[in-house]
Amino acid sequence: MNIDLSAKRVIITGASRGIGLAIARAFAAEGARVAICARSASDVREVGAQLAEHAQAVIARAVDVTARRLLLKLHTRGAGSMCW
């Protein structure tokens, strides 16, 4: 891509590998504020550190998106915040 996403915020699930990781990298490279989640805490931390080199801001959390309560927690305690 070659577009300016510096004013955009994205949430990407399954971001520690595969298509989710590729999408997260693409958005970060374009300067978006990126919130990522995956089930593995160590994997999501590692990817978050990589993305921080390019993204305007990064939130990286271990979340099982099948657990609605945990997904809502991701939204209300970070990704849904207007200040990140």
- Say what the pTM is: 0.80
> How many of the other CB atoms lie within 10 Å of CB of 62?
16
CA gap 76, 40 in Å, rounded = 20
**What per-residue string of b and e applies to 18-41 under the rule 16 or more CB within 10 Å gives b?**
eebbebbbebbebbbbbbbbbeee
Taking only the tens place, the pLDDT of each residue in 16-72 is 999 999 999 999 999 899 999 999 999 999 999 999 998 889 999 898 877 777 767
